[in-house]
Amino acid sequence: MKKIRHLPMYICLVILTLSFIWGNSLVPGDVSGEISGGVFEMVAGLFILFGDKGQLVLRKLAHLSEFTALGFFLTGLWRNLRLRARLAPPLLLGLAAACLDETIQIFSPGRDSSLIDVWIDFGGVCIGFLLSWGLRHFLDRKKRKKPPCRETKRQSG
């Protein structure tokens, strides 16, 4: 029953992440550009290598990172539903979220939809999936390696 305790947390994290992602997709293009431009000014030094394409790279990394979080949380949610044997659903749900994200942008003023962004988003979901499974594997392995507690034997007198 220990894992069920985390189920509400993962549901909330998935909902919050999707709200953040889709909320950003609803922002008009000019406002989105101002936001990413402001962020870019703060971190421009990190992207000097990319020259004129620096802000574009930053925007694509933002896509990747938010969908990495979604993939991580979807995988945790799926694991807590005790459906470990089925690996595809968190990935397919993440892909569906990416497709819906780009569909939302079609209807947002000044925004466009991009197939490349769907692939970047899905790549993020895959990274989150792998991070979640890797972390779980590491923690399970660490738990198995702990030596069992030994009780001291009482000497009978």
What confidence tens digit (pLDDT) does each residue in 44-76 have? 788 878 888 888 888 899 999 999 999 999 999
Q: Could you give the CA distance from residue 32 to residue 59 in angstroms, rounded to a whole number?
A: 10
Three-state DSSP state, 123:
helix
Q: Let me know: does 11 contact 90? Beta carbons within 8 Å.
A: no
Q: Let me know: does 66 contact 124? Beta carbons within 8 Å.
A: yes
Q: Could you give the CA distance from residue 129 to residue 94 in angstroms, rounded to a whole number?
A: 10
Dump pLDDT digits (tens) for 140-150: 777 777 666 65
Q: Could you give the CA distance from residue 47 to residue 26 in angstroms, rounded to a whole number?
A: 26
The two structure tokens encoding residue 135: 């972390």
pLDDT at 29: 83
- In this structure, is the dihedral angle defined by the CA atoms of residues 44, 46, 51 and 55, taken in order, positive or negative? negative
Residue 9 has pLDDT above 50, yes or no: yes
Q: Let me know: does 11 contact 73? Beta carbons within 8 Å.
A: no
H helices of 27-87, in order, are 29-43, 54-80
Dump pLDDT digits (tens) for 92-149: 999 999 999 999 999 989 888 899 999 999 999 999 999 998 988 888 777 777 666 6
Q: What percent of the chain has pLDDT over 70?
A: 87
Dump pLDDT digits (tens) for 78-91: 888 876 667 788 99
pLDDT at 14: 97
Rounded to 5°, the CA angle 85-88-90 comes to 100
Instruction: Tell me phi and psi for residue 116, to 5 degrees.
Output: -60, -40
The two structure tokens encoding residue 34: 């101002």
Instruction: Tell me phi and psi for residue 77, to 5 degrees.
Output: -60, -45
Average pLDDT, the chain: 85
The answer, as to whether pTM is greater than 0.85, is no
Instruction: Tell me phi and psi for residue 148, to 5 degrees.
Output: -65, 150
Q: State the pLDDT confidence band at 1, using cuts at 50, 70 and 90.
A: very low
The residues, ordered by sequence, that sit 6+ positions from 104 with a Cβ below 8 Å of its Cβ are: 22, 25, 26
